[in-house]
Chain A
Amino acid sequence: MSAQKIIPARHWGQRLVAVFLIAIVAFAIYMVATSRHISWSTIPQYIFDETILDGIRLTILFTVLSMVISIVAGAILATMRLASNPVLSSFASLYIWFFRGTPLLVQIIFWFNIQLFIPSIDLGFLQMDTNVVVTAFVAALLALSLNEAAYMAEIIRGGLLAIDDGQNEAAKALGYTPAQAMIRIIFPQALRVIIPPIGNQTISMLKTTSLVSVVAAQDLLTRAQNIYARNFLIIELLIVASLWYLLMTTIATALQYMIEQHFGRSSRQPVGSWRAALRVLRAEGTKG
């Protein structure tokens, strides 16, 4: 018997759509590339501009600081939310409700204008103008961190709830103190549930930081705006900023992929500590 040739089904509809998409993308590229209104030659000139590079440093600083602060605050809020004391859990719920329920942009502007209703800070031994303490930088960092903490709290709470109660009972029965059970048994396991969404939040935060440009907090977007306010190369500088945002999110995504690979592989041999994540980062660092 001779083998019959097998012809897979042809998806004509999909082919048609594909052709259409290629046409649209080609047209868009043609439009942008040949536009007389974009001066392409200025882009390389601004991409490594000192001001832009300073902006990138600040954007990264905002991202890292706000993520670190929000993870710590989120862990505290999550623990409060799960506490048996109704005041603690209500406070955490209220916090999460409020900060997730109002726009981040409003929160940024609010913190920046806090001196309107708290003009000065009086600690008894120390008196200061609120304006001196809450600079654009501080206002931006506060807004990003406090807002993100609400989301972190829910992510961490989800991670803690995902752990079977039997783990905690076994730890208790072996004489672990509540703190030991949390640190040695519950949290390391919750980490594997928590890490992927934290990665997503971090990548998202890289872009969200651009919102702080409304209070001129000197992040990447603020710097781009400052430059185009002087030379009117608006599109060109937005392209410069976008290229940098793309690069940063791409690197962050790759990093996230590597960390998740590591923890994913560990479904058979779980690692369960930040040390493992740091080990991956260090190993990759020496390779690159």
Chain B
Amino acid sequence: MNAPMNSRSKVVEAIDVHKSFGPLEVLKGINLAVRKGEVVCLLGPSGSGKSTFLRCINHLERMTQGRILVDGQLIGYHERGGALDEMSGRELAVQRRDIGMVFQRFNLFAHQNVLTNISQAPILNRGQSKDAAVARAKELLKMVDLEGREQAYPNQLSGGQQQRVAIARALAMDPKLMLFDEPTSALDPELVGEVLGVMRKLAADGMTMIVVTHEMAFARDVADRVVFMDQGVVVEEGPARDVIDNPQHERTRAFLKRMH
């Protein structure tokens, strides 16, 4: 956490990102840089555009203006003579292989068992042999504390277990960056801890992470930086403890007060 950030390369660089749904402007010029190994938590009230911004990073959402680079690569577009040409579905797929994403509602593939959920993408799209992918899947399952559950189907698992499988599934692609969109919001309170535990482990292992969350204790302990968003703009950002314990902006203060 105390390593000199500036000496590390930028994994994510978002420049002036705008997004509108019809007449509604949801993102009004977001700038954000995330360095290698950094954990950034996105905070903000409901509807402030956190999910939308996260989904722009892997181009699940098409932004209306601005640009996002992941590992120096422009996401979603080819730059051709001043214009941005949107990539084809196949090209987007190739870019997304380096960006893991964990959803609020897990979204495990309902017709596949845990092992297939985790190992299919690396076999199809990373050229891994079946044996290698299965061995790696078992390793990851151990990491998320689900050893021996290879044959279970998603509907046989608790929410917390499903989310841990979802994390393992994303990690199986060896992403350079992990995006989490409220990974514990759909969980019963007693299951939140096991998922946050896995995320702490990941952070400690040096994974670059952007986490949308309402878990203030997690943000305070684990994040290197927090970014507070409201109504489509970044209101305040800084080291996690500074912002959470001593917010400078009125809107941040009001939000944090409601969270406690």
Q: Which residues of A contact B (CB under 8 A)?
A: 164, 166-167, 169-178, 180, 184-185, 188-189, 192, 268-272
A176/B111 contact (C-beta < 8 A), A170-B103, A184-B120 known: no
Provided the pairs A268-B153, A270-B153 are in contact, do residues A173 and B109 lie with their beta carbons within 8 angstroms?
Answer: no
Q: Which of B22-30, B89-97, B187-195, B244-252 contacts A (4 or more CB under 8 A)?
A: B89-97
Q: Which residue of B lies closest to A171 (CB)?
A: B109
Q: Which of B89, B110, B170 contacts A167 (CB 8 A)?
A: B110
A175-B109 CB under 8 A given contacts A166-B103, A170-B103, A269-B153: no
Residue of A nearest to B98 (CB): A175
User: Which of chain A's residues have a CB closer than 8 A to the CB of B125?
Assistant: 174-176, 180
Q: In the complex the two chains form, what is the Cα distance from A272 to B105 in whole Å? A: 22
B89 → A minimal CB distance (Å):
4
* Chain B residues positioned under 8 Å from A178 (CB to CB): 89-90, 93
A169 to B90, CA, bound (A): 14
Determine which of B90, B155, B156, B170 lies in contact with A174 in the assembled complex, contact meaning CB atoms within 8 Å: B170
Interface residues of B in 94-118 (CB under 8 A from A): 94-97, 99-101, 103, 105, 107-113
A169-B60, A184-B120 given as contacts; is B111 within 8 A of A174 (CB)? no
Interface band, chain B? 20 to 34
Contacts of B112 in A (CB 8 A): 270, 272
Binding site for A on B (CB under 8 A): 58, 60, 89-90, 92-97, 99-101, 103, 105, 107-113, 120-121, 124-125, 153, 155-156, 166, 169-170, 173
Asked whether, in the complex, the Cβ of B89 is within 8 Å of the Cβ of A177, the reply is yes
Interchain nearest-CB distance for B127 vs A (Å): 12
**How many A-B contacts are there with CB distance less than 8 Å?**
78
A173-B58 CB under 8 A given contacts A166-B103, A166-B105: yes
Nearest-neighbour CB distance to chain A for B136, whole angstroms, equals 14
Residue of chain A at shortest CB distance from B153: A269
Known: A169-B107, A174-B169. 7 other contacts (CB 8 A): A170-B101, A174-B121, A175-B96, A175-B173, A176-B124, A177-B90, A180-B124
Q: Which residues of A contact B120 (CB under 8 A)?
A: 184
Contact of A175 among B97, B153, B155, B156 (CB under 8 A): B97
- Closest chain B residue, CB of each to CB of A170: B107
The 9 tightest CB contacts between A and B, nearest first, are A175-B97, A272-B111, A170-B107, A166-B107, A270-B111, A173-B101, A178-B89, A174-B121, A177-B93
**Secondary structure of the A side of the interface?**
helix
The distance from the CB of A159 to the nearest CB of chain B, in whole angstroms, is 13
Most buried by B among A174, A185, A189: A174
Chain A residues contacting B170 (CB-CB under 8 Å) are: 173-174
Residue of B nearest to A168 (CB): B107
Find chain B residues with CB under 8 A from A166 CB: 103, 105, 107
Chain A proximity of B113: nearest CB distance (Å): 8
CA of A192 to CA of B111 in the docked complex: distance in angstroms?
10
| Residues in B whose Cβ lies below 8 Å from that of A174 | 96-97, 121, 125, 169-170, 173
Q: How far is the CB of B143 from chain A (nearest CB, A)?
A: 18
Name which residue of chain A comes closest to B154, CB basis. Answer: A270
Q: Cβ of B110 and Cβ of A172 under 8 Å apart?
A: no
Contact of B60 among A164, A167, A173 (CB under 8 A): A173
Closest residue to A174 on the B side, CB-wise?
B121
Task: Provide the residues of chain A in CB contact with B90, threshold 8 Å.
Answer: 177-178
- Quick one: given A268-B153, A269-B153, A270-B153, are A172 and B111 in contact (CB under 8 Å)? no
Complex CA–CA separation, A210 to B125 (angstroms): 49
Q: When chains A and B are docked, how far (Å) is the Cα of A271 from the Cα of B111?
A: 7
Task: Tell me the nearest residue of chain B to A190, going by C-beta.
Answer: B111
**Pairs across A and B, CB under 8 Å, 28 listed:** A164-B107, A166-B105, A166-B107, A167-B107, A167-B109, A169-B60, A170-B107, A173-B99, A173-B100, A173-B101, A174-B97, A175-B94, A176-B121, A177-B93, A178-B90, A178-B93, A180-B124, A180-B125, A185-B109, A188-B111, A189-B110, A189-B111, A192-B111, A268-B155, A269-B113, A270-B110, A270-B111, A270-B112
Assembled-state Cα–Cα distance A189/B99 (Å): 25
Enumerate chain B residues within 8 angstroms of A169, measured Cβ to Cβ. 60, 103, 107
Q: Which residues of A contact B111 (CB under 8 A)?
A: 185, 188-189, 192, 270-272
Name the B residues within 8 Å of A180 (CB-CB).
93, 124-125
